[in-house]
Amino acid sequence: MTEKTILYRGAEAEICLTDYMKYKVVQKRRVKKTYRIKDIDDRLISTRTKEETKLISEARKQGVSVPIVYDVDLKNGIITMEYIEGKRIKDIFNYLNNKERIDICKKIGENIAKLHNNDIIHGDITTSNMILAKGRIHFIDFGLGEKNNEIETKGVDLHVLMEAIDSTHSKYSDYFNYVLEGYKKELKENASLVIKKIEEIVKRGRYR
Amino acid sequence: MICLGIEGTAHSIGVGIIKNNRRKCIVLSNIIKIYRPKQGGIHPREAANHHAIHLADLIRESINVAGLNFNKIDLISFSQGPGLGPCLRTAATAARALSLSLKKPIMGVNHCVAHLEIGRGTIDECKDPVLLYTSGANTQVIAFAEGKYRVFGETLDIGIGNCLDKFGRKVGLEFPCGPKIEKLAEKGNQYLELPYSIKGMDIAFSGLLTASEHYYQKNKRLEDICFSIQETTFAALTEVTERAMAHTDKDEVLLGGGVASNKRLQNMVHKMAEDRGASFFVPSKDLCIDNGAMIAWLGLLMYNNGIRLKVEESYIDQRFRTDMVDVSWRD
């Protein structure tokens, strides 16, 4: 058996680093939950694994950088994918120079628009779920994602990022506007509808 | 300090008297009376009439059980919201009358926050929990963050208790249907597939309710349907609770609300906590359901922290949200 290093342990899955053929890969393994009956556990693990894989490959088709999926094990809930060696946006965002930061924000916005143009909702857009590698921003973890064409859902998707920038990069909370600038440029629908929705969501006072 | 609390947000009218021993709550009495509609769901005006009829007796009884005189009461607290307008008004009116006639201060409290504080107040080890609050109308996952009790997940449509009651009514069970469904579910053994609806940390039950009713129309065994409803909804509730715990980095989980007395729900959340190495707490049943003691306890916490309310400003708020309360009594 090849060696496994656990990179992260979440409520639903663990992420580990391992080998696959001759590649260095990441495996997302959904954890079996002992509190629910097997019928439910099996169904959730396999449908969620399938959904996530589908979203990753659809995102790729739209020209958004995501890890390449090498293998999917629906029964055990394991996605084996490319290991992206780079830096998390979360870790570098505060240390970039201004021009770079603006540039990254615009690119993030453009990428989100590409997803939304095809009704792909990421579900958890935060700077910890983006990796800068070889000059490109890679989006990871589509575990909370879905296909949805509603303005509301797209607004919520962007609002998550707004909150993330607010809390993790509070000094640069205005930079969300550059994200919107990139988003507007790339979105096929009328972006002002989505942006209006974000304002509405903020007024509702919930946190996601 | 001794506080009398009046709860009246929905079905239940309750009067409780508590005192504090430093930061812990001692319940001296906790009397509850539940309005049971003859048929159908709760009718707000009829529930309020029920509360008005019984309230004076309940106050007297709770004073007697506590073994006190009225002049020993230092503070009157009432459920300010959220809830049904007529019920809230009935409880608030009684609280104002007591406050004015006894010349004691009044305090209005948030019902959902009270469910969390009574757990912290009565269980020694319970300090900073994530609360899974499940009742008829409310289904929320609440935790303390940055000065407020924030809602990390909640139902997008109906409360879990409401979901159980609606299904129960459809198949001819009596209110409250939760305990009857729990009994039936124990005899169920075949799982029937039902929608499992989680969005992020939010949850929805209405699709599951419709699907369950369809199974009933198709003459599936009632025991199996009840089993499947419990297994599906409780698994989803446990999952969002676990997500909130991971997100907020907390290692305590507390149950509250009427549905918290369901043994299968307790068992699932307990197991989840064990697997995470977290602690699991559930208050005694009379402190889980809607009750006056929890209202009294939160009132006392707020008053001792310097919060004051004038009688002329003691309005009720039907849409009083959990996160509207500034939680100044916690560090």
Residue A73 annotated in active site: no
> Are B278 and B132 part of one and the same domain?
yes
Residue B189 belongs to domain spanning: 128-282
Q: Tens of pLDDT along B227-279?
A: 999 999 999 999 999 999 988 899 999 999 999 999 999 999 999 999 999 99
Catalytic one of A19, A124, A141, A174 = A124
Instruction: Provide the pLDDT for residue B24.
Output: 95
Give Cβ neighbours of residue A90 (< 8 Å, ≥ 6 apart).
A126, A127, A128, A130, A168
CATH number among 1.10.10.10, 3.30.2350.10, 3.40.50.720, 1.10.510.10, domain A87-204: 1.10.510.10
Q: Tens of pLDDT along B126-162?
A: 999 999 999 999 999 999 988 899 998 899 899 999 9
Contacts B268 to A, Cβ<8 Å: 35-36
CATH superfamily of the A5-82 domain? Phosphorylase Kinase; domain 1 (3.30.200.20)
**Closest to B289 in 3D by CA, of B33, B64, B27:** B33
Closest Cα in chain A, distance from residue B104 (Å): 35
Enter the pTM of the model: 0.89
Phi, psi of B98 (to 5 degrees): -65, -45
Higher pLDDT, A203 or B305: B305
* Residue B52 covered by a domain: yes
> Are B98 and B140 part of one and the same domain?
no
Report whether pLDDT(A206) > 60: no
Q: Roughly what angle, to the nearest 10 degrees, separates helices B160-170 and B177-186? A: 80
Closest Cα in chain B, distance from residue A142 (Å): 12
Q: Tens of pLDDT along B169-206?
A: 999 999 899 999 999 999 999 999 999 988 778 899 99
Phi, psi of B276 (to 5 degrees): -90, -5
> Are B37 and B90 part of one and the same domain?
yes
> Are B229 and B152 part of one and the same domain?
yes
Three-class DSSP category at B263:
helix
Give Cβ neighbours of residue B22 (< 8 Å, ≥ 6 apart).
none
Question: Average pLDDT of chain B?
Answer: 96
**Closest to B178 in 3D by CA, of B127, B242, B233:** B233
Angle at B109 between CA B104 and CA B113, to 5 degrees: 145
Q: Does any CB of chain A come closer than 8 Å to the CB of residue B261?
A: no
Residue spans of the domains in chain A: they are 5-82, 87-204
> Both tokens of residue B224?
């199996």
Q: What is the CATH number of the domain that holds B161?
A: 3.30.420.40
Amino acid A147 reads K
- Among A31, A38, A40, the strongest candidate for a mutation testing the B interface, having the largest count of B CBs within 10 A, is A40
Q: Which helix (H) or strand (E) holds B20?
A: strand B12-21
Rounded to whole angstroms, the maximal C-alpha distance in chain A is 53
Out of B150, B196, B271, the one facing A34 most closely (by C-beta) is B271
Contacts B245 to A, Cβ<8 Å: 11
ipTM of this predicted complex? Answer: 0.90
Q: Tens of pLDDT along B81-115?
A: 999 999 999 999 999 999 999 999 999 999 999 99
Amino acid B141 reads V
Closest Cα in chain B, distance from residue A154 (Å): 14
- Distance CA(B143)–CA(B128), nearest Å, equals 8
Phi, psi of A85 (to 5 degrees): -90, 110
